[in-house]
Homo-oligomer: A and B are copies of this chain.
Amino acid sequence: MFSCPIPISDYPSVLLSHGSGGKLTQQLIQKIFFPQFQNAFLEPLHDGAIVEINGIRFAFSTDSYVVNPIFFPGGNIGELAVNGTVNDVAMCGAKPLFLSCAFIIEEGFAMEELWRIVQSMQGAAKKANVQIITGDTKVVDKGKGDKIFINTSGIGIVGKERNISPKNVNVGDKIILSGTIAEHGIAIMSMREGLQFETEIQSDTAPLNDLVETMFSASNNIHVLRDATRGGVASVLNEIAESAHKGIGITEDKIPVKEEVTGACEILGFDPLYIANEGKLLAFVEKNDAEKILIAMRQHPFGKNATIIGEVVDEHSGVVVMKSKIGGTRVVDMLSGEQLPRIC
């Protein structure tokens, strides 16, 4: 028994920021979880683990959803829980097949709302072509939960010839973003803040597994795939830069953001680069194959606004640098505090 590796003087208790996907989440993973659960498969900066069983490579991923509010423009917690885990499995280069689903429900939660959520989950599973095959329900006393929390875990098979790992990132790799960013986070925050816009901003929650299959049909030279959820595009890029020990350069005006989202970000004081997406991925691909992967993506409904936003560079290792719209460059750092709690 050793003492707690996060000095009590720094963080005697868990903060909201420990769950935000930023620096403190990384600290928690690297100091508390990783040293204990050490094994060959556990990669803290992956969306899931890949294991080989009887010669077949499986991807396995889990996520709990605690989004507040549970119903929001463009979706609800149930749909999000299915799409989120489907995406985490897909980001391992795997074809998701089966999901589990576990509910923690607060006593007094409306049966009708549970029913709506369960219906959405089944609808989302159907769209994503996965099956929810096992589940669990727990109920906690009123005031000891918050309406409903949902955990989904997913299993998929990793196709042969596919090898997704930050280790494969090379200088020159192109970075593709699959579409416009920051919609999920802004949809949630607008609702919490009671903001109304002329055009309602909807969550982009979507299953990305079919888009991933489309990308692999174009080329197997995809080195890293990540969906840009908690912490947004900026956090994902920082994590990859760090784990790949490479520099990353991106160009601000290549990053697609819907006009109303830009407006909402200005009102709310947010940088869209740090806002959660639930239907957007980042791909690091071999430079010579970037164009054909991009063309394939653009033919898919969830990739029609795909664009190359930057590349891996042979300088500033571990650091993400952005060429800004007004000229000049700035470092895009990892989020250190809490920007948006309970976004997913």
Q: Which A residues form the contact surface with B (CB < 8 A)?
A: 1, 4-6, 8, 11-20, 25, 28-29, 32-33, 36-37, 39, 41-42, 46, 48-49, 51, 53-54, 56, 58, 60-66, 68, 97-98, 100-112, 114-115, 118-119, 121-122, 125, 131-141, 143-146, 149, 151, 153, 155, 157, 341-342
Q: Which residues of the other chain, B, contact A132 by a CB distance below 8 angstroms?
A: 37, 39, 42
Complex Cα gap A41–B111 (Å): 25
Instruction: Please name all residues of chain B whose beta carbon is closer than 8 Å to the beta carbon of A19 when the two chains form the complex.
Output: 105, 137-140
Contact A110 B12 (CB under 8 A): yes
User: Can you list 10 residue pairs at the A/B interface with Cβ under 8 Å?
Assistant: A11-B111, A13-B108, A13-B110, A14-B111, A25-B137, A33-B137, A37-B131, A62-B102, A64-B151, A66-B138
- Are B8 and A134 touching (Cβ within 8 A)? no
Which of B100, B106, B140, B141 has a CB less than 8 Å from the CB of A153?
Answer: B100
**Residues of B with C-beta under 8 A to A138:** 19, 64-66, 149, 342
A33 to B102 alpha-carbon distance, docked (Å): 11
Given A8-B112, A112-B8, A122-B36, do A140 and B146 touch, yes or no (CB 8 Å)? yes
Q: What's the number of copies of this chain in the assembled complex?
A: 2
Distance in angstroms between the alpha carbons of A109 and B125 in the assembled complex: 34
Q: How far is the CA of A25 from the CA of B107 in the complex (A)?
A: 13
* Contact A48–B134 (Cβ < 8 Å): yes
* Assembled-state Cα–Cα distance A122/B100 (Å): 22
Given contacts A100-B62, A118-B32, A136-B64, contact A109 B51 (CB under 8 A): no
Q: Are A36 and B121 in contact (CB under 8 A)?
A: yes
Query: Do A141 and B104 touch across chains, with their CB atoms under 8 A apart?
Result: no
Interface centre among A97, A109, A125, A137 (most CB of B within 10 A): A137
Bound-complex Cα distance A13 to B148 (A): 12
Separation of A20 and B140 alpha carbons in the complex (Å): 10
Task: Looking at the assembled complex, report how far the CB atom of A83 sits from the nearest CB atom of chain B, in whole angstroms.
Answer: 15
Report whether A32 and B139 are in contact in the complex, using a CB–CB cutoff of 8 Å.
no
Contact B102 A137 (CB under 8 A): no
A14 and B141 contact, CB distance less than 8 A: no
- Choose among B11, B28, B109 the residue that contacts A137 (Cβ–Cβ < 8 A): B28
Q: How far is the CA of A81 from the CA of B313 in the complex (A)?
A: 44
- Cα A39 to Cα B56 in complex, Å, equals 24
Q: How far is the CB of A265 from chain B (nearest CB, A)?
A: 23
Closest to A60 in B: B134
From A59, which residue of chain B is reached at the shortest CB distance? B134
How many Å lie between the Cα of A13 and that of B341 in the bound state?
A: 27
Contacts of A66 in B (CB 8 A): 104, 138, 140
A6 touches B111 (CB 8 A): yes
